[in-house]
Amino acid sequence: MNRLSLVDFPGKLCMNLIVPGCNYRCAFCPHEQLIHHHIPMPKIGVDEIVKLLRPRMGFLDGVSLDGGEPFLHRGLGSFLSEMRFQGIKVRIKTNASRPRAIQYVLDKRLVDYLSVFIPGPLSKYRDIVNYRVDPNDVRRSIQIVRKSNVPYEFRVKPVPGIVENEDILEIANTLSGSRRLVIERFDPTRVLDPMVCGSEVFSRSELEDIRDSASPYFGEVFLSS
Q: How near is the Cβ of 130 to ligand SF4 at its closest, in Å?
A: 8
- Residue showing the smallest CB distance to ligand SF4 in the complex: 29
Strands (E), the chain: 4-5, 14-18, 62-66, 89-94, 113-117, 152-156, 178-183, 218-223
Q: What angle do CA 72, 87, 71 make, to 5 degrees?
A: 5
Q: How near is the Cβ of 164 to ligand SF4 at its closest, in Å?
A: 17
Q: Pick the closer one to ligand SF4 by CB: 62 or 120.
A: 120
Q: Pick the closer one to ligand SF4 by CB: 29 or 138.
A: 29
Q: Pick the closer one to ligand SF4 by CB: 31 or 211.
A: 31
C-alpha 55, offset from chain centre: 27
Which of 30, 2, 18, 20 has its CA nearest to residue 186?
A: 30
Identify the bridge partners of residue 115 per DSSP, sorted by sequence position: 93, 153
Going by C-beta distance under 8 Å and a sequence separation of 6 or more, which residues neighbour residue 51? none
Q: Pick the closer one to ligand SF4 by CB: 110 or 162.
A: 162
Alpha carbons 208 and 211: distance in angstroms, whole number: 5
Q: How near is the Cβ of 123 to ligand SF4 at its closest, in Å?
A: 18
Alpha carbons 34 and 137: distance in angstroms, whole number: 24
Reduced DSSP (H G I as helix, E B as strand, rest coil) percent helix, strand, coil of the chain, to 5: 40, 20, 45
Helix (H) / strand (E) containing 36: helix 32-36
Q: Pick the closer one to ligand SF4 by CB: 25 or 126.
A: 25
Q: How near is the Cβ of 80 to ligand SF4 at its closest, in Å?
A: 19
Q: How near is the Cβ of 102 to ligand SF4 at its closest, in Å?
A: 14
Q: Pick the closer one to ligand SF4 by CB: 25 or 140.
A: 25
Q: How near is the Cβ of 191 to ligand SF4 at its closest, in Å?
A: 10
Residues contributing to the site for ligand SF4 (CB under 6 A) = 22, 24-26, 29, 31, 35, 67-69, 95, 117, 119
